[in-house]
């Protein structure tokens, strides 16, 4: 085993990907786990005074959904559809990133206050 270096870091592919089928929409998407850099960016959005839970959710979708690549217009169109379906996508993304149901409940409670 070698000491960690830039070449090793650049060769590592440790962020999982998963295809999520959305039978309600007769479609599928590919999602990717978030990196530490994206986690930091999302945390800044979550704690910013001029942002809210929806800004966080939209940023999470943009970061996590890799196929198709989502833009603001597509996310707005998705948000016009069933909340239940979109929430299922968020649960899949959370599971992929190791966020337990307990943590998800705490986050939801914090955003509702």
Distance of CA 19 to the CA centre of its chain: 13
SS3 65: strand
Cβ atoms of 40 and 34 closer than 8 Å: no
Strands lying side by side in the sheet with 27-32: 17-22, 27-32, 65-67
What pLDDT is attached to residue 87?
Answer: 92
Burial label, 8 (beta-carbon count in 10 A; 0-12, 13-18, 19+): exposed
pLDDT along the chain (113 residues), means of 10: 90 90 96 91 88 89 94 95 93 83 62 56
- Among 27, 20, 9, 12, smallest CA distance to 94 is for 20
Domains of the chain in start order, with CATH, are 15-112 (3.30.2220.20)
Considering the entire predicted model, what is its pTM? 0.77
Q: How far is 76 from 11, CA to CA, in rounded Å? A: 36
């Amino acid at each position: 085993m070698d000491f960690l270096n830039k070449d090793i870091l650049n060769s590592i592919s440790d962020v999982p990907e998963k295809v999520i089928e959305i039978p309600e929409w007769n479609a599928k998407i590919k999602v990717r786990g978030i990196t530490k850099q994206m986690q930091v960016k999302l945390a800044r959005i979550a704690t910013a005074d001029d942002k809210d839970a929806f800004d966080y959710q939209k940023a999470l979708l943009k970061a996590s959904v890799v196929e198709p690549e989502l833009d603001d217009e597509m996310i707005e169109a998705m948000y016009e559809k069933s909340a239940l379906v979109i929430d299922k996508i968020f649960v899949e993304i959370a599971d992929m990133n190791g966020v337990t149901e307990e943590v998800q409940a705490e986050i939801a409670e914090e955003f509702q206050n």
